[in-house]
Structure 1
């Protein structure tokens, strides 16, 4: 009996030790869809020896700053053009681990129901960061509303507009605030994560929406030093699993598109 109790105690101790030995991995993310996707794979990663800790941020600067300063292991919220611009402007050295999904960028309005209703001199709100602001202008150019001096410049600003036949007036605002100003402008170009948080349905509500071929793939990002760690690679594998592909397709119904 004593021998059996000893075996049970040892087995229990081993199980507790295995849980305690799980490597912790902290990831900064915006709430929708990034944190939701990470929370979906938490159980799978725990079984695989990784305790995933998700911290939600509401802006596009702190997640990178936190990783650069070593306060977080990775982040999941941005696309490569934004990361490239951030590294260049801030002197950071963050790297992409893997691409996960595309969030088709869209134009929304609470005042008009179609682009042809946009009046001369209409006010348009766009993100104030270089890559997403440029992305917004490229989408407007694709719709024929403006023409840029360099039609391929991904960091274009309103100063790069060559032709503006409707005399559209642009307001550059922090990306997270754009859903809140919809009733103050004629149209706003909003990143899908913020549109979803605000209860907008891109496939139904957007007046203009990028196609699935968008080059702006959202990526898992880390510091160069831990990109190839075992825990990071397990996270990358989980994010690009068939289970995640189906989760994205079923939950977001085209508002988020798998990129793998």
Structure 2
């Protein structure tokens, strides 16, 4: 009896092992296949326009490479960096380097730039005048109130010869208090960037980021003046430090920096969005 019991036990273990192997094979055949064939999901938080539209354009290309790109648009873009910090998304695409550096220093973010995609030339818009020469003494100009974009707006006015900033500004941070020459005595209204299109009727002019111009359905061709293509404010794919080396992140940046995306941007946005690659 003892010998028979040992033989029965060995047979039971063998059957169990074979059964386990059978279940494993069944799972592979009914699931996603081998690990090589499994898709990888990547969530990227983005501004609605043009960022999310550009990302959605490359989704079919990435799907062929086994990357399920999920585009997350938040009503408040200021939450895209906290969402990345808290692992709610894998990357974000909405900001330029001066803005990233300013908030990273303030908030302690440990992020890295995976790639750059496009520039949205910030421009001066007005419902009241047709050229900068029509700006009257004491004209009210609305500018963004976040540090990097405020400097960017003031720098644009300086390039146009309307004001002069003090020398030595090296951290992309300036306010109207840093203006040392203002021959037209321009008055500045500091406004949340998202509200700039809305205050346009109440001021003589407003310096607005192009993504907000597009979202507000304003005509970007009506800017009286704007940054040129040499602007350092390229919009970036930003990830947590270390993730820039991930295969799927590199594949996304490669797709974004393709001739296909270059042509898509030029055709869809014209002067409003300029490829930065």
Taking structure 1 as the reference length, what is the TM-score of the superposition? 0.91
- The residue aligned with 1:4 is none
- The residue aligned with 1:172 is 190
- What SS is found at the alignment partner of 2:87? coil
- Counterparts of 1:207-246 in structure 2, within 5 Å, are 207-246=224-263
User: 1:66: Cα distance to partner?
Assistant: 0.6
Q: CA RMSD in A?
A: 2.1
- Counterparts of 1:11-160 in structure 2, within 5 Å, are 13=30, 21-150=38-167, 153=170, 154-160=172-178
- What SS is found at the alignment partner of 1:254? helix
User: 1:10: Cα distance to partner?
Assistant: 10
Query: Does residue 200 of the first structure (1) align with residue 218 of the second (2)?
Result: yes
Q: Which runs of 4+ in 1 moved over 4 A?
A: 9-12, 14-20
How many residues are treated as equivalent by the alignment?
251
Deviations 1:99-158 (A, max 9, x none): 111111101011111111111111111111110000000000011111101275421111
- What SS is found at the alignment partner of 1:42? helix
Structure ranking higher in helix proportion: 2
Q: Whose radius of gyration is greater, 1 or 2?
A: 2
The answer to whether the 8 A contact 1:126-1:178 is kept is yes
- The residue aligned with 1:5 is none
- The residue aligned with 1:253 is 270
The answer to whether the 8 A contact 1:150-1:160 is kept is no
Give the direction of change, closer, same or farther, for the CA distance of 1:59–1:186 in structure 2 (3 Å limit): farther
Taking structure 2 as the reference length, what is the TM-score of the superposition? 0.85
User: 1:201: Cα distance to partner?
Assistant: 2.6
The answer to whether the 8 A contact 2:37-2:66 is kept is no
The answer to whether the 8 A contact 2:56-2:71 is kept is yes
- What SS is found at the alignment partner of 2:201? coil
Within 2, Cα distance between the matches of 1:209 and 1:81?
Answer: 18
